Amino acid sequence: MDEEIYIAFDRYLENEMPEEERIEFEDRLQNNAAIREKLELYKEATNFLNNKFSPETVAFKDNLRAISKQNSDKKQKPKVIRFYPWITGIAASLVLFIGTWVFLQNETPAYGDYNQHEVAMFTERGDNNTDLKNAQDFFNEKNFAKAAESFSKIPMENNPELQYFYAVSLIEISDYVKAELLLHFIINGNSSYKFKAVWYLALSKLKQEMPNDAKELLKQIPPDAEDYEKAQKLLSQLD
């Protein structure tokens, strides 16, 4: 029964098993992959709860110990373990939840996790530059194909802001060659968009499933850069 397994897990992890019982339990672990996996999930669950919901963990484990002691005291009489339903539910839910949680934590990060773009603001009320206004509006509406088309009509040789937003639009439509040329042009300059360009060049590599290239770029973003914390988070997920 799962109830008995969870009690055994808790007693084993708390070093409350007598030597003979511990050896027998470890032999069982050695020969049963399913139980080993459940033990690892149980450890993950209790660690997670200790960090996030410590009162619930204490109540859960105190009940496990109380039931364990009750059954130990009455061991001479064959008896079905009376495991309170709410504890059974928590135990089962923990294993299911933490299994999903561990899977998500180990999942490779994706471009879509990080492509939260800033708002484009190039024009003021009454501005008559149609292409610039269209590029701004299409970008903010996340219509990146139309935005890229509008950007392509705008002179931007000395405008790193427009080059940056154009490059982002191109990454979104997977036109990586043009996007990365623009980003490298920004990186080689000295504008305030220099390290924003490094960040998006890393995201371009991430979208192309080139994690090693992305990691090398992320390491170039200094602590005082706006995107430093995001870069460190992504870097830790890629390691």
Residue pLDDT, tens place only, 137-177: 999 999 999 999 999 999 888 899 999 999 999 999 999 98
Q: Rounded to an integer, what distance in angstroms lies between the CA atom of residue 227 and that of residue 196?
A: 7
Give the model confidence (pLDDT) of 87-118 as tens digits. 444 455 555 555 544 444 445 788 998 989 99
**pTM of the entire predicted model:** 0.56
Binning pLDDT at 50, 70 and 90, where does residue 36 land?
A: confident
* Structure tokens belonging to residue 131: 């292409």
The CA distance from 186 to 83, in Å, is 65
DSSP code, position 108:
P
Task: Report the alpha-carbon distance of residue 56 to residue 62 in Å, rounded.
Answer: 10
Percent of the chain clearing pLDDT 90 (strictly above): 45
pLDDT digit string (tens) for 47-59? 645 544 444 445 5
Cα–Cα dist 79/67, whole Å: 13
Q: What stretch of H or E contains 129? A: none
Which part of the chain has CATH 1.25.40.10? Answer: 111-238
CA distance 46 to 37: 14
Q: Share the mean pLDDT of the chain.
A: 79
Indicate the DSSP class of residue 39. H
Label each residue of 155-203 as H, E or C. Answer: CCCCCHHHHHHHHHHHHHCCCHHHHHHHHHHHHCCCCCCHHHHHHHHHH
| Cα–Cα distance, 118 to 200 (Å, whole number) | 12
pLDDT of 84 strictly over 50: no
Which CATH superfamily is 111-238 part of? Tetratricopeptide repeat domain (1.25.40.10)
Q: How confident is the model at residue 77 (pLDDT cuts 50, 70, 90)?
A: very low
Residues contacting 50, CB < 8 A, separation 6+: 57
Which residues, 6+ apart, have CB-to-CB distance to 75 below 8 Å? none
The residues near 71 (Cβ < 8 Å, ≥ 6 apart) are 7, 79, 81
User: Quick one: which of 166, 175, 115, 112 has its CA closest to 139?
Assistant: 166
